[in-house]
Chain A
Amino acid sequence: MRKLTVRCLLLVGVTLFSNASIAKVIHSERSLYRNILVEETGDLRCLKFDEKTRQSSQSCMYKSKPKKLVFNYTKLTFASLLMIDNPKNVLIIGLGGGTLSNVIHELYPQATIKNVEIDPAVIKVARDYFDFKESEKVTSKVQDGRIFIKRAALKKQTFDWIILDAFNGDYIPEHLLTKEFFEEIKSVLAEGGIVAANTFSSSKLYEHESATYHAVFGDFINVTTAKKSNRIILAGFNKAPTKEHLTERVKKLAPLLAPYSIDIDAVSKGMRSTKNNQDWPSDTKVLTDQYSPANLLNF
C-alpha cells in the first residue's frame, strides 16, 4: 500500500514536470484476471491494473529513454548482482512490462531468461507497448508460477537467479507465499544462486512473510530505500558477502548499471541482513499451504 502511495507521488511528480500533464489511456483490455490499461502521461508510459477501487501501476517506462528504470523496487532488485556474478539461468515469475527481463538481457546477453506470467494479456501488452524482447535466449511462458517451479523441479532444472515479482498492489497469490513454495524454489536454485523477491507487505504480513523466508532460507537480506515503500528480499545465498566484497562488486557494477539509472552504491547501502537483526517476533507463525491467509493479514 505504501508502495502505491510512493508510485502515486512519483506519477504526480512526473506529471508536474511534463508538458502534457493529462494521462491518456492508449490501450485497455479485459483479461481473464483483470482490466489492463496502458496509460501515457507525457513521456511516461505505464502498465496499470484497474482494480476498481484504484489503479496500480505495474510497470512504467520513459518513452524517450526506455533504458531508464522508473520504479525504485526494480532498481533494488539489482542488488542481487552484488551477491552473484554473471547469472546464466534467470527465472522471472511475474512479467509486468518485461522491464527486468529486458535489462538483464542487455546486461548478460548470454544468459537464458525464462519469464513466467499467468496472464497472457500481460505478455501481449508487454510486447506491444513496453518493448518486451524475446529471443532464443529470452522466453516467456503462460503458467502459474507455482506450477512452473514444481514442473522445473521434476525436470531437475536449476536457475541461478530467481526473481519473484508476482504480487501486484492489491492481491497476493497466497500459494506463492508459503513455506512449501519456498522449499520448491530452493530445490530449483542452483548452487551459489540467489532468490530476489519483490514484496510490499505491511504490518502483520511483514512479520509472517519474514518468518516464512527465514524458516526456509535462514538469514536473508532486506533491501529497502529510505522510504521503505517496498522491500526486496534476497535469500538463498550460502554466505553473506563481506564488506570488501560488496565494495568491490559496487565498483565493478556501477558503470554497467548507471545507464539504467540504478545507483548501485545507494542500493547497496539499503541492504540489511536479518542476522542478529530480526525485526519480527520469534514466535511468528510461518505461512504454509495449510495456513496462508496472506491477504487477510495484509492490513
Chain B
Amino acid sequence: MLNKTNGLIYFLAFSSGFSIMGIELLGGRILAPFFGSSVHIWGSIITVFMLSLSFGYLLGGKLSIKRPSLTKYGLIFLLASIAILPIALFAQPIMAFIFTHVEDSRYGSLLASTALFFIPTIILGMISPYSVRLLVTDSEHSGQVAGGLYFVSTLGSALGTIITSFYMVLAFDVNAIIIGFASFIGCLGLFAIALDKLTIKEPVYA
C-alpha cells in the first residue's frame, strides 16, 4: 500500500518545498511598500521562516507518532492552504496597522513577517518529518529515506525560488501567485486524502 503512495508523498514534499520558497520570495515584494527593500527586510523574512520551520519540524515529528496516515498528512496540506490565504487577503490592513504603530522599520517588518508568514510556515514545516514517518519502514533505510526527502523538498525549494522570481512575477500579480500556491497545496491535500480513502478500500476487494 505504501509503495503505491510513496511517489505521491515525494511529490507532495517537493511541492511544499516549492511553495515555501515561492512565498518567502514574494514576502520581500509584499513588505517593500511599507517597510522598504533594505537588507533588514530579508533579515525579518528569513528569520520568521527559519523560526517557524523549526517549530513546524518539531510539531510535525510529534504529530507523526500517533497513528500516522495519509489522510492526516493531506489535512496538514489543507490546513496550510487555508493559512496561506490571509497573506493575499489581509496583508494590506495588517501592514498598515503595524506601520502606523511601529516607527522602526526593522521591527515593523519583523512583526509584519510574523503576522503574515509565521502560522502558514509552521504548518508547511510539519510536512517534512511527517513524510519521513510515512515513508520509513525500517531503521536501516531511514537515513536514505530522509536523504531522499531532503533532496526532493530542497530541490522543490530551489525551483520554487527561481521560477517565482524569474517568471511568475512577470506574468502574474503577487496575490494571484499566493492564491495559486494556496490552491495548489490545498488540491494536493485533497488528493492525498482521496487516495487514502481509495486505498483503504482495497483490502476488501483483495
Give the docked Cα–Cα distance between A292 and B37 (Å). Answer: 13
Q: Does A64 contact B (CB under 8 A)?
A: no
Give the docked Cα–Cα distance between A176 and B112 (Å). Answer: 20
- Indicate if the CB atoms of A174 and B32 lie closer than 8 Å: yes
Q: Does B138 contact A (CB under 8 A)?
A: no
Q: Does A50 contact B (CB under 8 A)?
A: no
- Indicate if the CB atoms of A118 and B33 lie closer than 8 Å: no
Q: Which of A33, A154, A178, A289 contacts B100 (CB 8 A)?
A: A154
Interface 9-residue window, one of B66-74, B121-129, B167-175? B167-175
B174: chain A residues at CB < 8 Å are 289-291
- Indicate if the CB atoms of A118 and B38 lie closer than 8 Å: yes
Chain A interface mostly: loop
Give the docked Cα–Cα distance between A150 and B96 (Å). Answer: 10
Give the docked Cα–Cα distance between A181 and B34 (Å). Answer: 10
Interface readout for B32-45 with A: 1 if CB under 8 Å, 0 if not?
A: 11111111000000
Q: Which A residues, 171 to 192, have Cβ-Cβ distances below 8 Å to chain B? A: 173-175, 178, 180-181
- Indicate if the CB atoms of A146 and B169 lie closer than 8 Å: no
Q: Does A226 contact B (CB under 8 A)?
A: no
Q: Which of A118, A175, A290, A296 contacts B175 (CB 8 A)?
A: A290
B100: chain A residues at CB < 8 Å are 154
Q: Does A144 contact B (CB under 8 A)?
A: yes
Give the docked Cα–Cα distance between A289 and B26 (Å). Answer: 11
Task: Kindly count the residue-residue contacts between A and B in the assembled complex, taking CB atoms under 8 Å apart.
Answer: 54
With both beta carbons as reference points, the residue of chain B lying nearest to A291 in the complex is identified as B173
Q: Which of A32, A143, A178 contacts B33 (CB 8 A)?
A: A178
- Indicate if the CB atoms of A293 and B105 lie closer than 8 Å: no
- Indicate if the CB atoms of A144 and B33 lie closer than 8 Å: no
Q: Does B107 contact A (CB under 8 A)?
A: no
- Indicate if the CB atoms of B170 and A147 lie closer than 8 Å: no
Give the docked Cα–Cα distance between A206 and B63 (Å). Answer: 53
Q: Does B99 contact A (CB under 8 A)?
A: yes
With both beta carbons as reference points, the residue of chain A lying nearest to B99 in the complex is identified as A150
B34: chain A residues at CB < 8 Å are 147, 150
With known contacts A150-B34, A175-B33, A289-B33, A32–B173 Cβ distance under 8 A: no
- Indicate if the CB atoms of A144 and B173 lie closer than 8 Å: no
Most buried by B among A118, A154, A181, A291: A291
B29: chain A residues at CB < 8 Å are 174, 289, 292
Q: Which of A144, A150, A293, A297 contacts B37 (CB 8 A)?
A: A144
- Indicate if the CB atoms of B169 and A147 lie closer than 8 Å: no
Q: Which of B33, B38, B99, B170 contacts A293 (CB 8 A)?
A: B170
With both beta carbons as reference points, the residue of chain B lying nearest to A181 in the complex is identified as B33
Interface readout for A24-51 with B: 1 if CB under 8 Å, 0 if not?
A: 0000000011000000000000000000
Give the docked Cα–Cα distance between A175 and B28 (Å). Answer: 10
With both beta carbons as reference points, the residue of chain A lying nearest to B96 in the complex is identified as A150
A175: chain B residues at CB < 8 Å are 32-33, 36-37
Binding site for A on B (CB under 8 A): 29, 32-39, 99-100, 105, 166, 169-170, 172-176
12 cross-chain CB contacts under 8 A: A144-B36, A146-B32, A147-B36, A147-B105, A150-B33, A150-B34, A173-B37, A175-B36, A289-B174, A291-B174, A292-B29, A293-B169
